[in-house]
Structure 1
Amino acid sequence: MRLTTLLVTVFAATARGCGFRRRSEQGARTKRGDNGPPFSIQQLTKTTHLIIQNDDYIEYPFVYVKQYPDIPLTLVVDTGCGAQNGKPGNPAVELNDFIEEKLPLKATSHCHFDHISGIQPFADAGADIVSSGFNKSFIAPENLAANALTTAFGTITPSYNVSNFAAQHERLQYKGVDLGLLVLQTPGHTPDSMAIYDENERWIFTGEYAANWKDFVNSIEELLAFVNEKDHDVTSEKCVRLGAGHSTADVPAGKMIKSALDFIRSVEKGDVPVIARLPGDEVAPGGDLGEAVFFYWQSPGNPEFSLLAPGSFRKDFGTT
Structure 2
Amino acid sequence: MNICKIAANAVAFSYNNIEDFTTNVFLIETSSKFFVMDTYCGSDAIKPILEEINLSSKNKEIIVINSHFHWDHVWGNISFAKKDIISHEICRKLLHEQWENQIKNNRRYILGRANKQLPNITFKEKMIFYDEGIELFYSPGHTIDSISLFDHNERVLYAGDNLEKPIIYVENNDINTYIKSLENYLNYKPKKIVAGHSLDLKEEDIFSTIEYLKGLSEGREFTFKTDYERKIHYQNINMMNKK
Q: Give the shorter-chain TM-score range.
A: 0.7 to 0.9
Mapped pair 1:221 → 2:180: yes
Per the alignment, residue 119 of structure 2 pairs with 162
Structure 1 residue 227, shift from structure 2 partner: 3.0
Deviation at 1:46, TM superposition (A): 0.6
Query: Per-residue deviation at 1:81?
Result: 2.0
- Given that 2:92 and 2:119 are in contact with CA atoms closer than 8 Å, whether structure 1 keeps it comes out as no
- Greater Rg over alpha carbons, structure: 1
Shift of 1:221: 2.2
Structure 1: stretches of 5+ with no match in the other structure: 1-38, 84-93, 232-238, 274-298
Structure 2: which 5+ runs fail to align?
A: 163-169
Corresponding residue for 1:295? none
Query: How far off is 1:61 after superposition?
Result: 0.8
The answer on 1:66 being equivalent to 2:22 is: no
1:26-51 deviations in Å (ceiling 9; x for gaps):
xxxxxxxxxxxxx2101011101011
The one-letter code sitting in structure 1 at the alignment partner of 2:132 is L
- 2:207 paired residue among 250, 254, 258: 258
The amino acid of 1:313's aligned partner reads M
Aligned position for 2:165: none
Contact 2:193 2:199 in 1 (8 A): yes
Structure 2 counterpart SS, 1:131: strand
* Partner amino acid, structure 2, of 1:120: I
Kept after mapping to 2: 8 A contact 1:59/1:114: no
Residues 87-142 of structure 1 deviation map (CA, whole Å, 9 limit, x = unaligned):
xxxxxxx233212333448644333111112221222xx121000124642222x4
The residue aligned with 1:283 is none
1:187 CA displacement: 2.4
The CA deviation string for residues 169-191 of structure 1, in whole angstroms up to 9 with x for no partner, is 2213xxxx632222221223333
Q: Which amino acid aligns with 2:218?
A: K
Structure-2 change in CA distance of 1:228 and 1:108 (3 Å): closer
TM-score, normalised to structure 2's length?
0.77
Q: Distance in 2 between matches of 1:76 and 1:138?
A: 20
Pair 207,164 (structure 1): closer, same or farther in 2 beyond 3 Å: same
1:243 aligns with 2:183: no
Residue aligning to 1:114: 72
Structure with the higher fraction of residues in helix conformation: 2
Residue in 2 that maps onto 1:82: 42
Q: Secondary structure at the match of 2:122?
A: strand
Q: Secondary structure at the match of 2:142?
A: coil
For the 8 Å contact 1:55–1:81, the answer to whether it is kept is no
Classify the secondary structure of the residue corresponding to 2:144.
coil
**1: CA distance between counterparts of 2:160 and 2:22?**
13
The residue aligned with 1:199 is: 152
Aligned to 1:211: 171
Contact 2:2/2:13 (CA < 8 Å) preserved in 1? yes
| Structure 1 residue 269 displacement after superposition | 2.3
**Deviation sequence 1:147-195 (CA, Å, 0-9, x none):** xx333223565311322102312213xxxx6322222212233332111
Q: Does the 8 A contact of 2:182 with 2:210 survive in 1?
A: no
TM value normalised by structure 1? 0.60
Shift of 1:302: 7.1
Which of 68, 85, 97 is the equivalent residue of 2:47? 97
Rounded Cα–Cα distance in structure 2 between residues aligned with 1:259 and 1:198: 23
Q: Does 1:300 align with 2:224?
A: yes
Shift in alpha-carbon separation, 1:202–1:305, aligned structure 2, 3 A = farther
Maintained 8 Å contact 1:64/1:76: yes
CA RMSD across the alignment: 2.9
SS at match of 1:118: helix
What's the secondary structure of 2:4's corresponding residue?
Answer: strand
Matches within 5 A, 1:18-29: none
CA distance in 1, matches of 2:191, 2:209: 16
Distance 2:137 2:200 in 1: 19
Say if 1:220 and 1:257, in contact at 8 Å, map to a contact too.
no
1:163/1:305 CA distance change after superposition, 3 Å: same
Q: Which amino acid aligns with 2:9?
A: T
